[in-house]
Structure 1
Amino acid sequence: MGTTPQAGGTVAEPITLSTGETVSVPLSTEATVYGAIFSADRPAVDDLLPRGLEPIRATPRRAAVTVLAVEYHRIGDEVMTPYDEFSVMFPAVEAGERSWPFASLATHGASGYVWYLPVTTEPAKALGVDVWGYPKEVAEIDHDDHVAGRRTTVTADGQEVITLDVEAPPAVDQRQEGVSYTVKDGTLLREQLTLDGRLGAWPYSGQATWELGDHPRADRLRDLDLGERALARLRFDGEFVIGAGEPVGTV
């Protein structure tokens, strides 16, 4: 099978998943995303990061947690049915790289180590696990659109994990780049991310709220001492491209 060009002229590498679908990386998708960034206990976040990463400081003494509710509309060349996803990510930098409170969060808030990534289908799980080592697991994700934004609830094993309610901030056409970090086969990987579409962010907002359920994963989030007021609320609608994982180091 030959390679095909992707956004920016990058040659895509075909990969066959354990569920039988063949995808190409970098992977181009279309998605709608609602999200928010909250402060969290820095030592607790640091304990969950793999070796080689350090949390970005939201304040001089607090780290950050980014939560994103994602509705995919297209995956690659429509090689699989679109699915929903919920991401819990810790904004982080590689060890030895300097970060500054507030400023680094503004530029890296949607980048970082992906700690929890439930999705709604088995092929979606295989896509993340087989290609990048994303910690995907199948769960129920319900989006409830309302006049101001979207409310998303994640349920796993019959227990509620988290509900996120975000009012949509003003958005403009723009292109942003970032990175995500994953661990695959004992290796820390860095994936280049590109967002191209309508993107909005609004700082220090009371219009983004979370509620934790009774699932064990919710208990672990509770231990992070999440802030009640969002450091920022986010919305994106457009093309989301995920690059190949580049080795950073062993964990």
Structure 2
Amino acid sequence: MARHLIQGREVAMPVRIRDVAVCAASYLVRADAARAVIAYSNLDVAEVLPRKALCTLMFADYVDGDLDPYHEFGIAFLVRPPGAGHAPGGGLRANLAELRAAGAGAFVHWLPVDQGFTLEAGRSIWGFPKELADIDLRLSTPYKRCILRKDGRMVLDLLIKPGVPVPGTGMMTAMDAYSHLEGVTRRIPWSMTPRGVRARPGGALIRLGNHSIAKELSELGLPRRALMTTTVAHMAMSFGEAKEP
């Protein structure tokens, strides 16, 4: 079993998260703009509709896991696996199903956290682009809210209204996550078992600040109506060893 030494502690693979609450808002954005944002990775966004890519903003409260409790915010894009064909030609739902069946994954473009141990583990084990930031999560209210500041500057204020319960949760799903750090792109096996899932069309309000990441999001067309929002009361996850794709 592979092990990594992080701040004097051994972290065994796969890394297991036993309980995390997650809120996410997914947006349709221009594929050409998304390609420009992640061009450094040598990956290509998956076009879920002609000339449209999928960008997801998420925030999470990690309650129990191998990397200790922490808060996290993330920006990710659905990407085609290296060498895969181009966009399918059906509707949005059929295209998403086909892309996932073909191995489409989530490229993690930015991943601020608020604790040093998970920062070092994420960067050294998987090459995740983790940075320290001030992440104010308000998850005990009917509206789930994340206020994110980096280097003393407002990045965004994201509010999500939970939708209706999604039946059939509790089943494990798996997909690949992709990262890029210091010139190296990596593929990370990622499995999830969600419970207490709610979803709805729309359901998000976003206010951008004056940070450079906020400017990047504005160039993608945000703020705009979310395609879909999802909240997960409890999720278990595992992350395997990173490999170059």
Give the TM-score normalised by the residue count of structure 1.
0.84
Distance 2:34 2:54 in 1: 8
1:125 is displaced (CA, Å) by 0.8
Query: What is the letter of the counterpart of residue 132 of structure 1?
Result: W
Q: Which residue of 2 aligns with 1:155?
A: 149
Which residue in the other structure is 1:5 paired with?
none
Q: Say whether 1:82 aligns with 2:56.
A: no
Cα deviations by residue, 1:86-118 (Å, 9 ceiling, x for unpaired): 01001101243134362343565x941111100
State the 1:146 CA deviation: 5.2
Aligned CA-pair RMSD: 2.3
Give the equivalent residue in structure 1 for 2:215: 219
User: C-alpha displacement at 1:209, in angstroms?
Assistant: 2.3
* Moved >4 Å (runs of 4+): none
Matched, 1:194 2:191: yes
Distance 1:58 1:229 in 2: 17
The superposition leaves residues 181-200 of structure 1 with CA deviations (integer Å, 9 ceiling, x where unpaired) of 01245332111111113163
**Take 2:12 and 2:122, find their aligned partners in 1: how far apart are those partners?**
13
Question: What letter is aligned with 1:74?
Answer: D
Which residue in 1 is equivalent to 2:51? 61
The residue number in structure 1 matching 2:109 is 115
CA pair 199-44 structure 1, distance change in 2 beyond 3 A: farther
Identity %: 25
* Whole-Å separation in 2 of the counterparts to 1:219 and 1:69: 19
Partner SS state of residue 227, structure 2: strand
Structure 1 distance, partners of 2:51, 2:223, is: 13
Shift of 1:13: 1.6
Going from structure 1 to structure 2, the CA distance change for 1:154 and 1:127 (only over 3 Å counts) comes to same
Structure having the higher strand fraction is: 1
Is 2:206 the partner of 1:210? yes
Counterpart pick for 1:24 among 12, 27, 39: 12
TM-score normalised to structure 2 length: 0.86
Q: How far apart are the structure 1 equivalents of 2:160 and 2:83?
A: 34
2:138 maps to 1:144: yes
Contact 1:56-1:104 within 8 A present in 2 as well: no
Residue 30 of structure 2, aligned match among 28, 38, 41: 41
**Partner of residue 13, structure 1:** 2
Q: Quote the offset at 1:201 in angstroms.
A: 5.7
Structure 1: give runs of 5+ residues left out of the alignment: 1-11
- In structure 2, what is the Cα distance between the partners aligned to 1:71 and 1:104? 31
- Tell me how far apart the structure 1 counterparts of residues 235 and 179 of structure 2 sit (CA, whole Å): 23
Q: CA shift at 1:246, angstroms?
A: 1.7
CA distance in 2, matches of 1:185, 1:216: 20
Deviation, 1:59, is 2.4
- 2:84 aligned partner: 97
Q: Give the Å deviation of 1:48.
A: 2.4
| Alpha-carbon separation, structure 1, partners of 2:16 and 2:68 | 14
**Contact 1:89–1:115 (CA under 8 A) maintained in structure 2:** yes
